[in-house]
Chains A and B, each alone.
Chain A
Amino acid sequence: MQNSAVPPVRKSIAVSTSPDRAFAIFTGGMHQWWPRAHTLNPKAERAAVIAEPRAGGRWFERAVDGTECTWGQVLTWEPPHRVILGWQLDEQWQYNPAFLTEVEIRFESKDGKSTQVTLEHRNLERYGVHAATLRAGLDSDEGWMGGLRGFAAVAGSAAAS
């Protein structure tokens, strides 16, 4: 599949703080803001989301029971302006060391008072035709939300809210 087949996801948001602090909260305080329900381990409460602060560092979550689930790795670590995370969750949301897409986050001072945070998630074409399996989970009525509703009902869990 051609690289141009799937354009990267690009997002940008302004936050009223310095690049230094924005970088620190984004990378170092990830468990404070990463949507709580977005976890690979719905069975145990999440204790931390950690991007080890160096190129080659692990990117993972840890549950209160100590279980760790790897999401990927830190590819580039350039505080306070740029970090590139390797998102290595395949089409079944399993960590796959042979699979990698890049998430680049840039932090640029806007006017001395705020920081423009720009995110690009690229290499999505690497999901290739396998994305179909994922999509079945995301979109079909019995998949994504349907499945989660089912899981929540079975588990009596409030985590799928």
Chain B
Amino acid sequence: MSYPTDELLALASETRATILQRLEAGPRTVGEIAQGLPVSRPAISQHLRILEQAKLVTEEYQGTRHIYRIDPTGLATLRTWLDRFWTRSLDAFAAEVERQNQTPHPSHAKQRRASRP
């Protein structure tokens, strides 16, 4: 795993980022979301479905119109991800402490030698 980087954003989510930016300004219909985007309407709908499944966007029916808006539970998932991230990181830290308990790391030995008068 690594951080989502430019490659990832370019690969999959550039359009979705644009959609989300538009929805941050307020609820929109598919037509409003699609306006000026070089992507077909079915493709926009596809992206909206993915965003909905990820609980980033909610859909509401007003008569025959579908209105999309940002789903605030997005932050909960960010938090969950960070929670997992820090669990992994602290586990790795503890493993490193254990490793150094077994075998002092050469760089530390070097520092100790270097600090001798």
Contact = CB atoms under 8 A, between A and B. Distances in A.
Interface of A: 5-7, 9, 11, 13-17, 21-22, 25-26, 29, 32-35, 37-40, 42, 89, 91-93, 117, 119, 121, 124-125, 127-148, 150-151, 154-155, 159-160
B89 interface: yes
A15 B77 contact: no
Contacts of A147: 4, 7-9, 11-13
Given A121-B82, A147-B13, A140 B96 contact: no
A30 to B, nearest CB: 9
Interface stretch (B27-35, B36-44, B51-59): B51-59
Interface string B4-20: 11011101110011001
A93 B8 CA distance: 11
Nearest to A30: B93
B74 A131 contact: yes
A25 B96 contact: yes
| Closest A-B pairs by Cβ, 6 of them | A137-B4, A147-B8, A33-B96, A132-B74, A15-B97, A131-B78
Nearest to A92: B9
B7 A22 contact: no
B17 A136 contact: yes
Contacts of B17: 92, 133, 136
Contact of A13 (B5, B83, B91): B91
A160 B1 contact: yes
B88 interface: yes
B12 A146 contact: yes
Contacts of A7: 79
Nearest to B96: A33
A33 B97 CA distance: 9
B83 A9 contact: yes
Contacts of B109: none
B86 A29 contact: no
B60 interface: no
A150 B20 contact: no
Contact of A143 (B8, B21, B91): B8
B45 interface: no
A129 B74 contact: yes
B75 interface: yes
Contacts of A136: 13, 16-17, 20, 50-51, 54, 56
B3 A13 contact: no
B3 A26 contact: no
B70 A129 contact: yes
A11 B92 CA distance: 13
